[in-house]
Chains A and B, each alone.
Chain A
């Protein structure tokens, strides 16, 4: 007779020789693809942006990023302990939130703003919903919106001014806040040697990192393409209507956090739709809202609000945008 395979002692009833492990198929899983791996992908994608932020803003960037990342990790550990849940730090999602939050801060923000933003991001943005995967709104953007409204002086246009001229940037105010009066030259805007939040300045870095994410499918290309395509079309129309304007469609695309937001913030899987059609609807809508805010509202910039608004609509999109199965819907008689 055949020797039975050796069994896990915990599961094998004693004295039973007929025991074999069973389980429902598939019996294999793709162990290289994990939630943690996807989060690490995001961090890898953020690397070019981090490097650029540090080159431009030097220790201001290191300090800001350090504060936000450490705070986010600490708050995640604290709140998880509070809930009596095992610490989910291994999944790296708190690290990603911290880095993205840090990159969305102005270089001059005082330390406590970073800490408060992190607490709100992790606590109100994520943990109150039940942790990773349950939140409706992008945690980093919840944190940032909170401090932006609570500390307008430290987070507004004035926060970006560099009176001492210590930074290697070509403008004083951010390109978006001066957009209505003057336009920044395009090349520095593309490269990133302009003023702005730490991570939003370089279009080039965002394209490199975002491209990596899309190739790895750790971000869905439909979302950035939807956002940027919509901005391109609407900005183009605006451009054609006002041929004299020095603020062109390329300024819309390269300026402000457009690229950073399109590739790294809007693509947060938890707060974006699951289906392809849903992702297109979501991306195009964000592009639309960004342009609405920029052109018609009092705010110079609207990526954060556009993402947060559309986050709220995602459950509805998921409900509407159900793809039709290959071969059509299930016929009623077959049920």
Chain B
């Protein structure tokens, strides 16, 4: 069945949200470039939600690209693998952009690498992806994902094999493939959809098989016409639907996406499976295809390096564990006025304090902003204009929550549902008085959790 718009029950948008400048033009046209093998990578043992992986190799072991370095511990965890060939070193420690201190396994690169440059690109995204998803048992698909250390590449980095194991009595009917990339600047997912639609679609069908869903829909914001066209062409002879969504931030947020695509509302504090949906990022989907069909682990990902602060914005296929510094170097280095380096996009990304930090499976991009771009006007008094209320995708009252958090008025913060906030930042982006609303709410949530424990 060929279906484009037909059959999709969503309206293609969700209430409220904001329209920040898209700024995709920096890197949109740049084909995926392959990073030449770095001298060293640091594989973090905790790149995902859950428990850190436990090392399975000794220091000073020779490893080949794809070898497992550490295995997942417990159900919610994920294995990590060597992304280059070389010799491991003693465990190191690093601080990831999100502030987590984690252990790492460093690998010094060997002179001989199994794949480099064009061969690497072909190995990861090229080749024949024909398959009959019904031929794979759901458990086999989950096992392959687990063995490959696949985690969500969109943001939360939730282990895939866990996500694809719906509990008894919670039937999943739909798999939504998230190709929104609603963060300004980032174009990694867009390039992937343009250059490698086949593994994305195959991966999505395999995921549907694993969770028992009958329907697969790919959602793409309508500011990516080329990606839409390529994905539609690739999906033409399959039962996968491709749906154009209104360009709006945060369309790629799970709850917003589900609302826009299938008109269902995920309960606060609940997961998409509560409404019979599994959401997967396009990159994750391609990684699932590679893991299931070829038995290859997740060792590389596409990372956008972009912004007015970088000389040559690019979309880079890079090994997990390479340092941010190496990627910035590869893209020509900083411009004179570069001021802030962000892991991820400007709306929800983390500003880096150091560049000697490894990228992880969840790193979607590096955005380098200039001084003038990051300057905020001085904060003035709230005039209760309600703009934050008008844009909050979750229907909260950010100003009341933020000011309650600032004054440590926890009773008022909870009355206004502070814990329902997903920290998308629409409120702080919009506030005419430049009040750091989401920042106050974020720290308020942390303090509140501490108080309760």
Contacts and interface: CB of A to CB of B under 8 A. Distances in A.
B232 interface: no
A91 interface: yes
B346 A28 contact: yes
A251 B415 CA distance: 43
Interface in B324-362: 325, 328-329, 333-334, 336-342, 346-355
Interface in B373-391: 373-374, 376-377, 380-387, 389-390
Interface stretch (A100-108, A168-176, A195-203, A266-274): A266-274
Contact of B429 (A4, A26, A324): A26
Contact of B329 (A2, A217, A273): A2
B7 interface: no
Contacts of A331: 267-269
Contact of B432 (A24, A28, A33, A335): A33
Interface stretch (B77-85, B204-212, B434-442): B434-442
Contact of B395 (A132, A274, A279, A326): A326
A25 B374 contact: no
Interface in B413-435: 414-417, 419-420, 423, 425, 428-434
Interface stretch (B44-52, B121-129, B152-160, B396-404): B396-404
Nearest to B23: A28
A118 to B, nearest CB: 20
Nearest to A28: B346
B389 A275 contact: yes
Nearest to B274: A327
Nearest to B416: A322
A158 interface: no
A297 interface: no
Contacts of B448: 335
Central interface residue in A20, A132, A274, by most chain B CB within 10 Å: A274
B340 A20 contact: yes
B442 A24 contact: yes
B349 A335 contact: no
Question: Range of interface residues on chain B?
Answer: 35 or more
Given A20-B341, A35-B432, A323-B397, A329 B347 contact: no
A217 B385 CA distance: 9
Q: What interface size band does chain A fall in?
A: 35 or more
A327 B349 contact: no
B268 A325 contact: yes
Contacts of B432: 33-35, 37-38
A27 B342 contact: yes
Given A220-B386, A274-B386, A29 B429 contact: yes
B267 A327 contact: yes
B353 A20 contact: yes
Contacts of A269: 383-386
A132 to B, nearest CB: 5
Contacts of A276: 389
A34 B436 contact: no
A197 B207 CA distance: 70
Contacts of B18: 30
Contacts of A300: none
A133 B433 CA distance: 10
Nearest to B372: A31
Contacts of B309: 5
A91 B433 CA distance: 10
A1 interface: yes
Interface in A1-27: 1-8, 18-27
Contacts of A150: none
A29 B352 contact: no
B340 A27 contact: yes
Contacts of B350: 25
A298 interface: no
Given A31-B377, A132-B383, A330-B269, A26 B425 contact: yes
B114 interface: no
Of A30, A323, A326, chain B has the most CB atoms within 10 Å of the CB of A326
Interface centre among A20, A26, A27, A37 (most CB of B within 10 A): A26
B364 to A, nearest CB: 14
A182 interface: no
Interface string A307-335: 00000000000100011111111110111
A325 B420 contact: yes
Q: Which 4 A-B pairs have the closest CB atoms?
A: A133-B381, A334-B269, A26-B425, A5-B338
Given A34-B434, A327-B269, A334-B419, 15 more contacts: A5-B309, A5-B338, A6-B338, A21-B339, A22-B353, A24-B442, A28-B184, A30-B18, A34-B377, A134-B381, A274-B389, A323-B397, A326-B255, A326-B259, A326-B265
18 contacts: A4-B355, A5-B340, A20-B351, A24-B442, A26-B347, A26-B438, A28-B20, A31-B377, A38-B383, A38-B432, A132-B383, A217-B387, A220-B386, A273-B384, A318-B400, A323-B396, A327-B420, A335-B448
